[in-house]
Amino acid sequence: MNGKPKTARLSEDQKFDWLRLIRSENVGPRTFRALVNACGGARAALEALPDLARRGGLRRPIRVATADEIERELTLARKAGVRFVALGEPEYPPALRQIDSAPPIIALRGREEALQQPAIAVVGSRNASAAGAAFADRLARGLGQAGYVVVSGLARGIDLRAHLGALETGTIGVLAGGHDRPYPPEAVALLPKIAEFGAVISEMPIEWEPRGRDFPRRNRLVSGLALATVVVEAARGSGSLITARFAAEQNREVFAAPGSPLDPRAEGTNDLLREGAAICARVEDVLAVVDPLRERDPFADFREDTAEASEPLWGEQPLLGVDPAATPRTRAGQELDEAVAPAFDPGEPATLQQIEALLGPSPISIDDLARVAEIDVRRVRMAIVELDLAGRIEHSGGDRVALLPVSAGRETP
Amino acid sequence: MNGKPKTARLSEDQKFDWLRLIRSENVGPRTFRALVNACGGARAALEALPDLARRGGLRRPIRVATADEIERELTLARKAGVRFVALGEPEYPPALRQIDSAPPIIALRGREEALQQPAIAVVGSRNASAAGAAFADRLARGLGQAGYVVVSGLARGIDLRAHLGALETGTIGVLAGGHDRPYPPEAVALLPKIAEFGAVISEMPIEWEPRGRDFPRRNRLVSGLALATVVVEAARGSGSLITARFAAEQNREVFAAPGSPLDPRAEGTNDLLREGAAICARVEDVLAVVDPLRERDPFADFREDTAEASEPLWGEQPLLGVDPAATPRTRAGQELDEAVAPAFDPGEPATLQQIEALLGPSPISIDDLARVAEIDVRRVRMAIVELDLAGRIEHSGGDRVALLPVSAGRETP
């Protein structure tokens, strides 16, 4: 890696506001970024939230995370040895920074150095065969010896074997819930060990109990932290295939270990091979592809972005690495420049209604939506943020969105 | 397939001469073709053999198959229900016709219709796992039901399971030795069954006992008969990988069944996948590729070639589908036109010596050789034929040749 990136650091107050914003109802990573960019900072976004959500169609007040809630999370984090790293801070994992829905804040337990090393994700089925488990172990060990951190999802089976294989060279476990609600039980005893040589991270509130939908959501972080994702044994429909899909969407390498055509535990991996994943039958298969990537410093783009935005114009915005041209030149808490962010003008409900009318259950890219609507894409994005805050937007890969029925308001985060 | 190809049929006398020529010492399929083209027919080639071999450096008379030997083979063949099909005859398998070293004559037991159907080769290890054997059976059955003949090498393990799976829909077994020396023992009981619904073929003399080197040689016929070769379980260095290599050289599709990275029986197939073979984890994987090929009649080229050459100018030559421009316009047994086949001029030993001096143990293509030597490629080919008849040429893929030491004279079939 070519030297340290130029990065900014949030003040304690700013980080507090960031936590409040990301812990508020219907604020996901994409909406967080859009809000901070449009409003000029987290504090201003927090103030704007109730109005925006109402405009988006929410028929009750939006739940904004309170200062007390954040105080409680900070206290629990301190007790658990967990600290918070914000997007754009030097400790933030450079690979993760590149993904569309990079979490604005990650809660970290363990060594922050582990987040800076090049990483490979090794994932697979919970009901692994003995051969699959042994291969995961061998692979993780080899990747660790070659200088890579091994990322996985802490699930029993392949994931835990991968963590174990790379325990002493460094491994990153990504939780689906909060640090104080570790899951699954099989992983709990291992977490202190993982944190000793590597790291355990979570984007969720520290007391968040993980539910079904949190696992696929978490999987985007597993692939997003890594240069490549290797799937070792996966039945069809398995969660590991979601991780592989995220990896492909994130323009990361996807590897699959082959398996017998008669073994249902290999159907998913063989499908991946059929669809163009590279074969991984030994550690060298992965190294041959990622070693050159590592030399080329694949996240140099980000480092340059950060360097260019190194003169902060308005609060914490440079940390998000946004296009300054697309952003209103205001200070946090100041009034917005309507000429630059016209969709933010409460006098233009027409845009929102038009976007709402054009959206449906089929995902469409925001660019296509703007073209069809013949509305400036920034105004479209703002309308999407408003609908999103009302719990009415479902995000798909490739910046695509679909409209959810009014009744289906999502839970947060 | 678009109607019957226009083909010629050899007279009984011609076929007798063809058998004598191909059964003569150091006459392989390539040399056979070169000789018949250069001499204008098999009879003339038989007469020229002793001189050519002497020129090539053979220090004793070349062994030319006698009429008695051929009579004996014909008698044994009649008793065994074996008949001979010559290259260019309508019964000759159209796919096999396309390969560089297509045997001039194949000995056929069984249904000649089976040789006209589109075929898929299914091959693999002798020490197959239960899963590999079951998959070979399932695959062969599925291919048979889809209208393909299954070709294999009659070895125990995967090969025999493939033959068994396709027994009633039609399968072709290719012997490494002669029909009267079937091998291996495990296959012997199955041969009548295979011949009943399909075919057993051999290019070797009917009493030929197969030796080690005959198996890789035979494998080129297994792949050459088929649109695609599927390798099911193969350790590194296994003979099935030779079949796959032949298939690739013959521009046929290569498929490999995936297997566990920890199973040595899958190392060869996983290597094939790594090198670009298509994955075969179900019969549909193969059908998706070969069904469209079958529609397009991949051997139409040959049919056109044959149609164009349908007016025979000189004996049996049109059957070989050679380029008429490169061939002397003489009748079999007539004197050769020295202007067209100058290398045949016994007054030009310089060419032969030059070629011999330029060749070494590393294979070189005949075109490259001609360029380096600055000698017309047809004269180079003739020099190669002479050296070949003296047992001093080793052929490799891509029309490449290497020189063997004088002492290492090969044995014939």
Rounded to whole angstroms, how far apart are CA atoms A240 and A100? 20
B260 contacts A132? CB cut-off 8 A: yes
Outline where DSSP puts E strands in A142-260.
149-152, 171-174, 199-202, 228-232, 253-256
The DSSP line for B109-161 is EE-GGGGTS-EEEEEE-SS--HHHHHHHHHHHHHHHHTTPEEEE---TTHHHH
ipTM of the prediction: 0.71
- For position A46, what pLDDT does the model report? 97
- For position A342, what pLDDT does the model report? 36
Task: pLDDT tens for chain A, 413 residues: list them.
Answer: 444 555 778 999 999 999 999 999 999 999 999 999 989 999 999 999 999 999 998 999 999 999 999 999 999 999 999 999 999 999 999 999 999 899 999 999 999 999 999 999 999 999 989 999 999 999 999 999 999 999 999 999 999 999 999 999 999 999 999 999 999 999 999 999 999 999 999 999 999 999 999 999 999 999 999 999 999 999 998 999 999 999 999 999 999 999 999 999 999 999 999 999 999 999 999 999 999 988 776 665 444 444 333 333 233 444 554 433 333 333 332 332 222 333 444 436 678 888 888 888 888 999 999 998 889 988 898 899 999 999 899 888 778 999 987 655 454 44
Residue listed under structure tokens 């398995």: A238
Rounded to whole angstroms, how far apart are CA atoms A18 and B67? 97
Residue listed under structure tokens 């301190």: A78
Instruction: Give the tokens for residue B170.
Output: 């039609």
For residue B132, which residues of chain A lie inside 8 Å, CB to CB? 260
Is the separation of the CB atoms in B300 and B2 below 8 Å?
Answer: yes
Is the separation of the CB atoms in B275 and B267 below 8 Å?
Answer: no
Rounded to whole angstroms, how far apart are CA atoms A11 and B1? 76
A263 contacts B281? CB cut-off 8 A: no
User: Measured between CB atoms, which of B258, B273, B280 is closest to A266?
Assistant: B258
> Running DSSP on this structure, what letter comes out for residue B59?
S
Instruction: Give the tokens for residue A51.
Output: 């109005």
Chain A CA closest to residue B283: A261
Instruction: Give the tokens for residue A89.
Output: 């801070």
- A69 in B contact zone (CB under 8 Å): no
Outline where DSSP puts E strands in A49-147.
83-86, 105-110, 119-124
The DSSP line for A269-328 is HHHHHHTTPEE-SSHHHHHHHHHHHHHT-TTHHHHHHHHHT-S-SSTTGGGGT--GGGS-
Outline where DSSP puts E strands in A101-226.
105-110, 119-124, 149-152, 171-174, 199-202
Alpha-carbon separation of residue B406 from B354, B356, B377, B390 (angstroms): 16, 11, 24, 8
Percentage of chain B lying above the pLDDT 70 cut: 84
Chain B CA closest to residue A272: B279
- B281 in A contact zone (CB under 8 Å): yes
Is the separation of the CB atoms in A298 and A227 below 8 Å?
Answer: yes
Q: List the one residue out of A206, A270, A214 whose CA is nearest residue A241.
A: A270
- For position B6, what pLDDT does the model report? 54
Write out residues in chain B with pLDDT < 50, as ranges: 1-3, 301-318, 321-347, 409, 411-413
- Supply the angle between the helices A29-39 and A12-22 in degrees, to the nearest 10: 130
Beta sheet of B228-232, edge-to-edge order = B83-86, B105-110, B199-202, B171-174, B149-152, B119-124, B228-232, B253-256, B278-279
For residue A274, which residues of chain B lie inside 8 Å, CB to CB? 279, 281, 285
Chain B CA closest to residue A255: B274
- For position B337, what pLDDT does the model report? 29
Q: What is the pLDDT of residues B182-196, one digit of tens each?
A: 999 999 999 999 999
Mutate to test the interface with B, among A279, A280, A283, A284 (most CBs of B within 10 A): A279
- For position A297, what pLDDT does the model report? 66
- For position B333, what pLDDT does the model report? 29
Residue listed under structure tokens 């009415």: A392
